[in-house]
């Protein structure tokens, strides 16, 4: 099956070379299989399917005798069984889960790059339940969507940036944004076209005005990718509204831009309803969605997955074939057994418990913030998802100056500079070497008690007062 998909992709690329229209430079509607090549980086275009990896699905065919692969003999593996315990709904009782022997054997051996087939099927059901997208059906046009399991969503982001961006390319990115994304982008030295955000997420009018300015001034090529965190943004904690999402999607459609929807806090939304995703409104086949289990199952299990148009996903798989081969089979098998045990209803119940926990954490943190920082800082009191608070410190221009004294008082926060992209001048195309100082700090309320929050923010308030006193002398 994987080999057939690779052959389909190869045929699509041949068509693109011979007669594809220049979709990057004109308003487009629905993307088809032959429309994606202009989005690929030159490095990605040079990647070829691994001859050994192509054998993986063929080795599963009934009656096949494989002398072509390089799989180690499983009789030499010392692990013979895998079992683990999970907490009950009451948090006290436990249930023992054991992997069937066949699943153990699959977990210990090389497996398909996109993931264990059983797990991919479970993930497709999750996408269908929460986003009303059937991965198994062809989307608009001739594009098939697919899923690839990754070693956390961080690995998927890094792969995607390198697959779709050449060194020095412009990229649309929120300000502020995830520091891990900035780190992954750093080797590519892109031009960060920063788009302003507010308490309701990315501002569509700024996005459109920015793109029109670039188009009219020709200071640089139009960006072909928007990287965005729609819910509980890291670091801001802000979430974009459903109406703004629709506007952003229409703008990306007008300028033919791919949307990288990085949504690790999707399941940590505090409202009564879950906001619609960009994936759920993707009529043009331009959304690549990144999900993570780090926040709701385990960070150490290192499992995420990416969903999107098959031509885009295949680029990520080709990169993995030349690096990690596939995500840990052990981690995949454990998650698969857990999801099979829970079912979709059990997963939903677990997610609701996680949301209630983080809602309590949020309430405790902002209660302490109001008590100690009410006259020293401002923040968005209506954080609707995630685990972060974005605090603007009054009368402080550069919060990096606060970090050393804060450590001395035994409290840790991160300065806003860590989350600020070095913004390109869209009129000249010139980019600074580093980000400008900011008056913001990021605090996380994921770990800690109400008492710990109270003590930490009392200490940080003292740091702010001492710094301001020194500056005024």
List, for residues 419-433, the tens digit of each pLDDT value. Answer: 999 888 888 888 776
Ramachandran sector of residue 92 (left: φ over 0; alpha: ψ -120 to 50; beta: rest):
alpha
List the one residue out of 149, 123, 384, 120 whose CA is nearest residue 266. Answer: 384
In this prediction, residue 29 carries a pLDDT of 66
In this prediction, residue 53 carries a pLDDT of 65
Asked whether the predicted pLDDT for residue 2 surpasses 50, the reply is no
How does pLDDT run across 69-89, given as a tens digit for each residue? Answer: 788 888 889 999 999 999 987
How does pLDDT run across 243-281, given as a tens digit for each residue? Answer: 999 999 999 999 999 999 999 999 999 988 899 999 999
List the one residue out of 398, 391, 435 whose CA is nearest residue 194. Answer: 435
Quote the mean pLDDT of the chain.
Answer: 89
Q: Tell me which of 22-26, 159-163, 285-289, 391-395 is least confident.
A: 22-26
H/E segment holding residue 304: strand 304-309
* % of the chain surpassing 70 pLDDT: 92
Which of 62-76, 96-110, 457-471 holds the top average pLDDT? 457-471
CA 434 to chain CA mean position, Å: 24
Asked whether the predicted pLDDT for residue 1 surpasses 70, the reply is no
How does pLDDT run across 329-362, given as a tens digit for each residue? Answer: 999 999 999 999 999 999 999 999 999 999 999 9
**Cα three-residue angle 469-472-473, rounded to 5 degrees:** 90
Question: What's the whole-model pTM score?
Answer: 0.89
Exposed/middle/buried for residue 101 (C-beta within 10 Å: 0-12, 13-18, 19+): exposed
Q: How confident is the model at residue 141 (pLDDT cuts 50, 70, 90)?
A: low
In this prediction, residue 28 carries a pLDDT of 52
Query: Residue 369, Cβ neighbours under 10 Å: how many?
Result: 23
Asked whether the predicted pLDDT for residue 146 surpasses 60, the reply is yes
Q: Tell me which of 209-213, 236-240, 320-324 is least confident.
A: 320-324
């Amino acid at each position: 099956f994987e080999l057939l998909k690779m052959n389909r992709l190869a045929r699509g690329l041949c068509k693109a070379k011979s007669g594809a229209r220049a979709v990057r430079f004109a308003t487009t509607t629905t993307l088809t299989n032959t429309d994606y090549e202009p989005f690929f980086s030159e490095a990605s275009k040079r990647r070829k399917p691994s001859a050994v990896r192509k054998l993986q699905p063929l080795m599963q065919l009934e009656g096949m005798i494989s002398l072509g692969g390089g799989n180690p003999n499983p009789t030499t593996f010392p692990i013979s069984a895998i079992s683990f315990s999970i907490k009950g709904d009451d948090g006290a009782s436990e249930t023992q889960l054991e992997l069937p022997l066949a699943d153990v054997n699959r977990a210990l051996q090389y497996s398909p790059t996109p993931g264990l087939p059983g797990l991919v099927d479970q993930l497709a059901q999750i996408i269908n339940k929460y986003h009303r997208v059937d991965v198994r059906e062809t989307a608009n046009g001739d594009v098939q969507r697919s899923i690839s399991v990754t070693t956390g969503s961080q690995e998927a982001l890094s792969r995607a940036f390198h697959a779709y961006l050449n060194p020095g390319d412009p990229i649309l990115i929120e300000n502020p944004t995830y520091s891990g994304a900035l780190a992954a982008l750093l080797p590519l030295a892109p031009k960060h076209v920063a788009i302003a955000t507010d308490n309701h997420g990315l501002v569509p009018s700024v996005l459109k005005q920015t793109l029109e300015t670039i188009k009219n001034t020709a200071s640089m090529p139009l960006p072909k990718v928007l990287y965005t965190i729609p819910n509980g943004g890291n670091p801001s904690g802000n979430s974009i509204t459903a109406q703004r999402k629709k506007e952003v999607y229409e703008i990306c459609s007008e300028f033919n831009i791919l949307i990288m929807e990085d949504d690790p806090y999707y399941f940590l939304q505090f409202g009564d309803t879950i906001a619609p995703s960009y994936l759920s409104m993707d009529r043009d086949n331009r959304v690549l969605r990144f999900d993570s289990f780090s926040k709701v199952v385990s960070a150490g299990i290192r499992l995420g997955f990416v969903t999107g148009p098959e031509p885009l996903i295949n680029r990520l798989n080709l990169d993995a074939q030349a690096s990690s081969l596939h995500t840990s089979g052990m981690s995949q098998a454990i998650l698969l057994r857990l999801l099979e045990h829970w079912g979709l209803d059990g997963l939903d119940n677990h997610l609701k418990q996680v949301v209630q926990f983080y809602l309590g954490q949020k309430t405790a943190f902002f209660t302490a913030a109001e008590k100690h920082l009410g006259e020293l800082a401002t923040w968005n009191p209506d954080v609707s998802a995630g685990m972060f608070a974005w605090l603007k410190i009054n009368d402080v221009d550069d919060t990096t100056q606060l970090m050393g004294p804060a450590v001395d008082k035994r409290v840790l926060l991160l300065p806003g500079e860590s989350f600020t992209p070095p913004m390109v001048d869209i009129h000249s195309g010139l980019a600074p070497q580093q980000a400008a100082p900011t008056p913001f700090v990021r605090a996380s309320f994921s770990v800690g008690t109400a008492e710990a929050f109270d003590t930490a923010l009392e200490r940080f308030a003292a740091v702010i007062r001492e710094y301001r006193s020194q500056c005024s002398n």
